[in-house]
């Protein structure tokens, strides 16, 4: 789902830009190679045709998500449950404090306004519509919060960059460079790609890293790095249990921040929104049809199509007017983890 959210974010921006500039005589360039321009129209067309999950082209998938987001937001406004500017500002103030968000902004190039429009507005509108349909009350929210405070609490974490090496020699070469180069530069030099040093959030019991690496990260002050840590890779979904022959790897951790545990509060709009959505999903299993929320979105789309409220501008994505055939309605994408 996170990957789908990333695809939707980048594709949505490009498709929106293409529609806004579609009447221009010449498409703006997305790149210049040897003096020759690569037009935005060509780039967007490739996105529209490139297969995504389950073989569905990315372009129609992105367009469908944007259309559904807008239909949901309009319905939330009609029912008086759309997120207010004050609520969205409060969410952004909370999110801006998260290193993950700043990292995601650097990676995607999204502005705060784009993040609000693409993710926050539809996500919060969807949750509010779900809660209203399921009859979730303020008392329900208070009771669930009190009973699940421990689960809603945010544990202490470490924001760090972790380099993993298959042999000790490479790890030693990296350690020699640690005092004079960034983790990304070291990853490029030793491993051939700076992507090997992407920032991660490390939590006890919730990170696919060996326990010695996790503990070393928590015991290293902000702005410093560990020594070489030798450990057997942690199990993952492809290999639930480590094999006896599993070879040890060598790790170095650069700690960017030590984040303390945070107590939950219903004053936090993200927690309140999460509780509303959980309660709505629980009630959907007992008081509503299992597909009630998907049916709501499908009905909104069908009604808009009947009254010709949806007009797709780019000709190569006309098929989105009817929705992707036999594809489940995608969930509204959430914020970066």
Reading the block at residue 84, the tokens are: 């207010």
Kindly state whether residues 44 and 86 are assigned to the same domain.
yes
Lowest mean pLDDT among 55-69, 75-89, 203-217, 307-321: 307-321
The pLDDT assigned to 312 comes to 66
Q: Please indicate, yes or no, whether residues 119 and 167 belong to a single structural domain of this protein.
A: no
Percent of the chain past pLDDT 70, that is, above it, reads: 80
Residues 247 and 129 in one domain: no
Q: Where are the alpha helices (DSSP H) in 178-268?
A: 183-186, 211-218
**Range 101-121 average pLDDT:** 86
**Higher confidence at residue 134 or residue 283?**
134
Phi, then psi, of 318 in degrees rounded to 5: -60, -30
Residues sharing a CB contact under 8 Å with residue 314, sequence separation 6 or more, in sequence order: 15, 18, 19, 22, 44, 48
Domain count, the chain: 2
pTM above threshold 0.75:
no
- In this prediction, residue 236 carries a pLDDT of 56
Q: Is residue 199 located within the same domain as residue 122? A: no
In a domain, 328, yes or no: no
Do 200 and 277 belong together in one domain? no
pLDDT at site 313: 62
Digit-coded pLDDT (tens) for 159-212: 999 999 999 999 999 999 998 899 999 999 999 998 899 889 999 987 789 999
Say how far apart CA 323 and CA 318 lie, in whole Å.
Answer: 10
C-alpha distances in Å from residue 191, one per residue of 174, 175, 184, 201, 222: 10, 13, 10, 21, 24
Confidence at residue 310, expressed as pLDDT on a 0 to 100 scale: 74
The 229-231 sheet, strands edge to edge = 199-202, 157-165, 249-259, 229-231
Residues 273 and 142 in one domain: yes
**Is residue 177 situated within a structural domain?**
yes
The domain of 25 spans 2-149+264-322
Domain closes at, from 207, 235, 259: 259
The per-residue pLDDT for range 48-76, each reduced to its tens digit, is: 777 777 777 777 778 788 888 889 999 99
pLDDT at residue 7, rounded to an integer: 45
CATH code assigned at 232: 3.10.50
């Amino acid at each position: 789902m996170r990957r789908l959210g990333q695809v939707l974010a980048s594709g949505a921006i490009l498709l929106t830009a293409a529609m806004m500039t579609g009447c221009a005589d010449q498409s703006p360039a997305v790149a210049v190679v040897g003096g020759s321009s690569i037009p935005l129209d060509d780039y967007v067309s490739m996105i529209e045709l490139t297969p995504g999950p389950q073989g569905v082209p990315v372009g129609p998938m992105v367009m469908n998500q944007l259309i559904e987001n807008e239909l949901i937001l309009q319905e939330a406004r009609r029912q008086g449950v759309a997120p207010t500017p004050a609520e969205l500002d409060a969410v952004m103030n909370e999110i801006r404090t998260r290193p993950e968000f700043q990292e995601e902004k650097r990676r995607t190039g999204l502005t705060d306004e784009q993040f609000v429009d693409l993710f926050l507005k539809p996500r919060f509108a969807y949750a509010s519509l779900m809660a209203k349909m399921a009859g979730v009350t303020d008392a329900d929210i208070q009771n669930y919060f009190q009973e699940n405070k421990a689960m809603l609490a945010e544990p202490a974490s470490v924001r760090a960059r972790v380099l993993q090496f298959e042999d000790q020699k490479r790890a030693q070469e990296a350690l020699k460079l640690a005092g004079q180069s960034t983790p990304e530069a070291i990853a490029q030099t030793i491993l051939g790609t700076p992507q090997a040093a992407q920032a991660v959030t490390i939590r006890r019991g919730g990170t696919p890293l060996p326990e010695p690496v996790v503990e070393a990260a928590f015991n290293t002050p902000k702005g410093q790095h560990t020594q070489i840590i030798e450990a057997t890779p942690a199990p993952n979904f492809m290999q639930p249990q480590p094999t006896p022959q599993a070879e040890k790897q060598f790790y170095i951790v650069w700690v960017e921040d030590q984040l303390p545990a945070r107590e939950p509060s219903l004053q936090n709009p993200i927690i309140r929104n999460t509780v509303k959505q959980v309660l709505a999903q629980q009630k959907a299993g007992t008081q509503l049809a299992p597909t009630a929320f998907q049916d709501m979105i499908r009905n909104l789309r069908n009604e808009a199509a009947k009254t010709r409220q949806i007009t797709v501008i780019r000709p190569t994505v006309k098929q989105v007017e009817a929705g992707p055939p036999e594809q489940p309605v995608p969930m509204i994408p959430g914020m970066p983890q």
